[in-house]
A and B are shown apart, each in its own frame.
Chain A
Amino acid sequence: MGDTLQRTLTIAHTVAFPTTERERERRRIAVMCLPFLVLAVFAGFVPLATMARMSLSAERLSNEGWSLEAWKTLTTDSTYWWIGFNTLWFAAAATLVSVAVGVAIAHALEKYSLPFENAIVAVVSFPIALPGIVVAFMVIVLLGRQGLITQAIAVFSGESAVSLATATTIGGLFLGYVYSLIPRATMVLRGTYAEVNTDAEEAARSLGASPLETFVRVTLPEIRPGIVAACILTYRSALAIFGTVLILQGGLVVVTLRIDRELSIGFNSQMAGAIGLVYVAFLIAFTFVGLRFVRTDAVEI
């Protein structure tokens, strides 16, 4: 114990007053990390700690007194378990579809010399810049009452567009999810695809493998780390979606929407804090467990 303290003090001293190149390097690392760590503490950790306190507060409007009420409700009320379950499976389904489509796009971009490749990359990356509420509007443009797809089906089937509109159903919400997730998945996978050894693929083809066999036996094992990374990142993004759900609703209450409702209906801040905390804890745990399986340099956004 005393040893550890002394060692820490020695390190602190050499960081402040370095004499060797190694010590000077340590000081540089400290100086360069400092601004970010200050930001992370004041904009991240302190607010999170305050939120944890908020979930235990007896008062709604300020952190005063102590109460376990919110946590009791959270653990006993099955509504919340369903919300958690809904959030997880819906995000998982959207992630799987998005990553699968992402593999196809990344594959086509890397392997086939498509026309307008630059334009395709630009277009596919475009939705990354869009906030969730705008994505929701895109879904309305396609599936709303005046939506393109709705109108097209109405013309062919003769039914009224109003009854055909699916933007605010769970299907519309799913489209909204994959609309924002496909670009993210694709960008991660593009980085992975760029590193695939094409010689090995050509060798496989020359040995008689069909394109599909080549993909399954040679390409897929090579991009597997990228796919895992894409799944992790896409899933994280899926869990954080809020604006799209807020506009479309879609009959599905996910965690972010519930947090908003706790506050907008009766300002139940303890409950919002408790949900938020569980949610962040899950995200952090998921990220760190997930990243054990991938190299961080596969991360792109």
Chain B
Amino acid sequence: MQNEHSITMTSKTDTETGRTEAGSTRTTSNTGAETNTDETGTPDTETDTNTDTNTNARADGGTPANSTDDPWTDAGGSPSALLGRPVVVGVVVLTVAVLVVPIVMTFVSSFARTATGALPSGFVTLSHWRHVLGLGDYGVRANAVPGLTFSIAIATGGMVLNVLVGVPIAYALSRYDFYARDWVNTLAILPLVPGVVLGIAFLRTYPERGGSALGLIVGYCLLKSPYMVLTVQSSFQSMDLERLEESARSLGASWPRTFLTVIVPHAKQGILAGCVITWTLAAAEFNFTYMVHTGDPEPFSMFLFRNISNAPYLQSAAAISIYFCIVVAAILFLQLIGNRGFTTARN
């Protein structure tokens, strides 16, 4: 007991001294030193405190520690203790800045009159927004509204199909163990065909329908299904599926009824999150759309593409900002139902 006491005290003092020697966090070590002085009941200078503790420790029969020789005393001053956190935080801050600055910049620029200087200037004008939304004297054909309406309808179709396809397979994969389960799982959570390739394959396979609304719905559904399967699976993982199901069935619910009245409501949050994510991604899906689209009505992502590659800077900014608004709404909704960001991972 006595030994323990002295060891605790010694190391405490040493750490504080070590910190002070390293010359960092002056305030903290001062407070620490004060406490030490109280405990040992002695002097002002750091060295004195140290000596005193050593004497004290010897008297108690504990191991005396000499702060100048003991490598442990340097722990507080090791490079990683000093620099580790600032460096990591620096990387985070820089990354977040790189990710977020262009987004904010784009949104802000969409309200600027001119972009010729170092920074956009001449705030606030809504003309670019009016332009891309087709308000005022601009032609209907050049604005985002018809494409956006079309894309929203297609994305909604893809989302509904994803619920019908994704929820059952997510359930089967979470609840049961079966032959080739791992293969089916990989197939369901990792899209094996990228959008560009699926696009050209679709064109040849379904020459009449590949670029039609139905073709787009089916394509989006397959491309985005992993997001639905993963979110629903993570919902299922947090519940005791087997016991829930057995409870319901022992109470007289047939298996289909159990699935619909017990299992699905429990996974509501995951299904909603999956819906939001697959819908948002499908609304601006580009790679597949670019390959298969046939022109009329022009999907939203093709409208964005035309703006980014051809339109004036500020008008492109406004066009893209429309989509930003959608994503922000999606993320807010996801946070509302318990996801922290635009991701299938749950907290």
Within 8 A of B (CB), among A108-133: 108-109, 112, 114, 118, 120-133
Q: Size band of the A side of the interface?
A: 35 or more
Q: Across the interface, do B286 and A132 meet the contact criterion of CB distance under 8 Å?
A: yes
- 0 or 1 for each of A142-168: is its CB under 8 Å from B? (1 = yes): 100010100110110000000000000
Tell me, yes or no, whether A187 is within 8 Å of chain B by CB.
yes
Q: Across the interface, do B192 and A283 meet the contact criterion of CB distance under 8 Å?
A: yes
CB distance from B334 to the nearest CB of A (A): 9
Q: Across the interface, do A47 and B201 meet the contact criterion of CB distance under 8 Å?
A: yes
Q: Across the interface, do A123 and B100 meet the contact criterion of CB distance under 8 Å?
A: yes
The 24 listed contacts between A and B (C-beta, < 8 Å) are A29-B178, A34-B168, A43-B221, A108-B92, A112-B88, A122-B331, A122-B340, A124-B96, A125-B343, A129-B342, A131-B287, A133-B301, A133-B305, A142-B102, A210-B78, A211-B78, A211-B81, A259-B197, A263-B291, A273-B200, A279-B194, A288-B186, A296-B182, A299-B190
Known A105-B91, A146-B313; contact A40-B187, beta-carbon cutoff 8 A: yes
Q: Across the interface, do B197 and A105 meet the contact criterion of CB distance under 8 Å?
A: no
- In the assembled complex, the Cα of A138 lies from the Cα of B189 at a distance in Å of 28
Tell me, yes or no, whether B235 is within 8 Å of chain A by CB.
no
Most buried by A among B91, B184, B340: B340
| Known contacts A54-B201, A122-B335; 15 further A-B pairs (Cβ under 8 A) | A29-B172, A44-B222, A50-B204, A108-B88, A125-B340, A126-B103, A131-B286, A137-B320, A139-B102, A188-B345, A211-B85, A233-B190, A240-B196, A242-B287, A273-B201
Most buried by A among B106, B172, B205, B330: B205
A interface with B by C-beta (< 8 Å): 24-26, 28-29, 31-37, 39-40, 42-44, 46-48, 50-51, 54, 62-63, 101, 104-105, 107-109, 112, 114, 118, 120-134, 136-139, 141-142, 146, 148, 151-152, 154-155, 175, 179, 182-183, 187-188, 190-191, 194, 208, 210-213, 215, 233, 236, 239-240, 242-243, 246-247, 256, 259-260, 263, 269, 272-273, 276, 279-280, 283-284, 287-288, 291, 296-297, 299-301
CB distance from A221 to the nearest CB of B (A): 17
- In the assembled complex, the Cα of A236 lies from the Cα of B191 at a distance in Å of 10
Which stretch (B35-43, B122-130, B134-142, B225-233) binds chain A? B225-233
- In the assembled complex, the Cα of A36 lies from the Cα of B218 at a distance in Å of 11
Tell me, yes or no, whether B150 is within 8 Å of chain A by CB.
no
Tell me, yes or no, whether B80 is within 8 Å of chain A by CB.
yes
Q: Which residues of B contact A39 (CB under 8 A)?
A: 161, 165, 218, 221-222, 225
Most buried by B among A146, A259, A273: A146
Tell me, yes or no, whether B111 is within 8 Å of chain A by CB.
no
